[in-house]
C-alpha cells in the first residue's frame, strides 16, 4: 500500500496546507510520498517536495500539470489542499478521471462545501439552522437586510482569510473590497450575540460517525488567521463543557449535514451556539492537520490515535 500526499496549492492557504502535510507525514502508518503544488501552479516532486515542506513554502515549481508521476504506483491519493483549487472539487475531478481512490469528499460535495453561499442554501432547505446571510457579486448594490454588526467573507476561502467584522454600514464597502480580493462572490453574515464556537469531526462515507464536540475560545475579535495558527492564541476544550442534550444535538446535526451534502471520508463541522440557539456555520471537507488543528484532536479524544485516524481515512477512500 503506497499513498501519494498532495500539499501546497495556489490558494492563500498554501502555508497551512504544508503545515498539515508535515503532521500527516509524521504520523502516517503507510509508505507515503509527497508532491507539492507551488504557488505558481507548477509541481515539485521527490526531494524538491521535501525541501519545500522544510521551507514551509513553495513559490515556484518545476513540473507543469499534469506532473510526470507514475500514478499506478499509488493505491490511494490524499489531497491535503486547503481552499480553492484543491478543496473545491478541482483536484478531485482530476483524480476521478484517473480512476484513483482518494481521501475525502467527491467533486460535488467538495464544491458545495467550499462555497459558503451554496452550502447555506442546501442546509437551510434541509431544515438545518444557519446564520442569516446575503450573497453579493462584485458590482451589485450591497443591500443587507439586517443591522450591523455583521461579518463579510469571501464565499470560497477558508482559514478566515479575507474576513472583516463590520460595526457600521460606512465600513461595508471597504470590507467587501477586501473580500473581493480573494473571490468573485462575498457573503455577508449577521453577527450573533454571545457566541460560543463549537466543532465536531465526522468520519465515514455518507453515513458518518461523530467525534466528541470541542469548543474554541480566544481573546481576538473573531477566530482570525493569526489566532487559528499561532500556538497559544486559542484554547481548545475537548470535550466542550456542554450539557448532554446540547452535545447530542450538535453531533446529530453534524451527521445530518454530512449526509445531506453527500460527503465522504471526513469533515469538520463548525457551529455557533448563541443564547441557547444552535447554528451551523460551515463544513470543512479537508480540515487542518497542523499542530493547532482541532480535527485530529477530536478523534484522539474518542480513543483514535493519529496513525489510526489516517489509516481509517485511507480505508474509507478504498471502500
- Residues 188 and 142 sit within 8 Å (Cβ to Cβ): yes
The grid coordinates listed for 150 are: 455583521
- Residues 281 and 270 sit within 8 Å (Cβ to Cβ): yes
Q: Of residues 13, 87, 199, 215, which has the active-site annotation?
A: 13
- Residues 202 and 267 sit within 8 Å (Cβ to Cβ): yes
Q: Of residues 159, 164, 211, 281, which has the active-site annotation?
A: 159
Of 227, 266, 229, 270, nearest in space to 250 by CA: 270
Is 226 part of the annotated catalytic residue set?
Answer: no
Is 197 part of the annotated catalytic residue set?
Answer: no
Environment class of 246 (CB within 10 Å of its CB; exposed 0-12, middle 13-18, buried 19+)? middle
Positive or negative: CA dihedral 227, 34, 73, 40: positive
Environment class of 134 (CB within 10 Å of its CB; exposed 0-12, middle 13-18, buried 19+)? middle
Q: Of residues 183, 288, 293, 306, which has the active-site annotation?
A: 288
Q: Of residues 196, 268, 297, 312, which has the active-site annotation?
A: 268
Q: Of residues 282, 293, 297, 306, which has the active-site annotation?
A: 282
Separation between Cα atoms, residue 150 and residue 127, nearest integer Å: 23
Q: Of residues 284, 293, 297, 312, which has the active-site annotation?
A: 284
Q: Of residues 204, 270, 279, 312, which has the active-site annotation?
A: 270
Alpha-helix residue ranges (DSSP H) falling in the chain: 14-27, 46-55, 90-98, 107-114, 116-125, 172-180, 225-229, 244-260, 294-300, 306-318
Separation between Cα atoms, residue 61 and residue 55, nearest integer Å: 13
Q: Of residues 74, 229, 258, 306, which has the active-site annotation?
A: 229
Is 171 part of the annotated catalytic residue set?
Answer: no
Is 279 part of the annotated catalytic residue set?
Answer: no
- Residues 223 and 197 sit within 8 Å (Cβ to Cβ): yes
Separation between Cα atoms, residue 214 and residue 311, nearest integer Å: 23
Residue with cell 469538520: 268
The grid coordinates listed for 84 are: 480553492
The grid coordinates listed for 110 are: 467538495
Is 229 part of the annotated catalytic residue set?
Answer: yes
Is 59 part of the annotated catalytic residue set?
Answer: no
Of 275, 215, 289, 282, nearest in space to 254 by CA: 282
Is 165 part of the annotated catalytic residue set?
Answer: no
Is 140 part of the annotated catalytic residue set?
Answer: no
Catalytically active residues, by annotation:
13, 159, 229, 268, 270, 282, 284, 288
Amino acid at each position: 500500500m503506497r499513498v501519494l500526499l498532495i500539499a501546497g496549492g495556489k490558494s492563500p492557504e498554501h502555508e497551512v496546507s504544508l503545515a498539515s502535510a508535515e503532521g500527516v507525514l509524521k504520523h502516517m502508518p503507510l509508505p507515503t510520498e509527497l508532491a507539492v503544488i507551488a504557488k505558481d501552479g507548477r509541481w515539485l516532486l521527490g526531494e524538491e517536495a521535501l525541501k519545500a515542506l522544510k521551507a514551509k513554502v513553495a513559490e515556484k515549481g518545476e513540473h507543469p500539470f499534469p506532473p510526470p508521476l507514475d500514478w499506478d504506483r499509488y493505491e490511494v491519493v490524499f489531497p491535503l489542499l486547503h481552499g480553492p483549487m484543491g478543496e473545491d472539487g478541482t483536484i478531485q475531478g482530476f483524480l476521478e478521471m484517473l480512476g484513483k481512490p482518494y481521501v475525502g469528499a467527491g467533486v460535488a460535495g467538495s464544491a458545495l462545501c467550499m462555497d459558503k453561499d451554496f452550502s447555506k442554501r442546501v442546509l437551510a432547505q434541509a431544515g438545518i439552522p444557519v446564520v442569516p446571510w446575503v450573497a453579493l457579486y462584485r458590482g451589485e448594490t450591497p443591500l443587507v437586510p439586517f443591522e450591523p454588526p455583521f461579518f463579510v467573507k469571501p464565499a470560497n476561502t477558508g482559514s478566515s482569510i479575507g474576513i472583516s467584522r463590520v460595526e457600521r454600514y460606512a465600513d461595508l464597502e471597504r470590507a467587501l473590497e477586501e473580500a473581493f480580493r480573494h473571490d468573485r462572490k462575498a457573503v455577508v453574515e449577521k453577527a450573533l450575540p454571545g457566541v460560543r464556537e463549537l466543532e465536531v469531526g465526522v468520519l465515514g462515507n455518507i453515513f458518518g460517525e461523530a467525534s466528541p464536540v470541542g469548543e474554541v475560545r480566544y481573546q481576538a475579535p473573531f477566530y482570525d488567521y493569526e489566532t487559528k495558527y499561532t500556538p497559544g492564541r486559542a484554547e481548545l476544550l475537548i470535550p466542550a463543557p456542554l450539557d448532554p442534550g446540547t452535545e447530542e444535538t450538535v453531533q446529530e446535526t453534524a451527521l445530518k449535514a454530512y449526509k445531506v451534502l453527500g460527503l465522504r471520508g471526513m469533515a469538520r463541522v463548525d457551529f455557533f451556539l448563541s443564547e441557547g440557539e444552535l447554528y451551523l456555520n460551515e463544513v470543512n471537507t479537508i480540515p487542518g492537520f497542523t499542530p493547532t488543528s482541532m480535527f485530529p484532536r477530536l478523534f484522539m479524544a474518542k480513543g483514535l490515535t493519529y496513525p489510526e485516524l489516517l489509516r481509517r481515512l485511507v480505508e474509507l477512500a478504498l471502500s
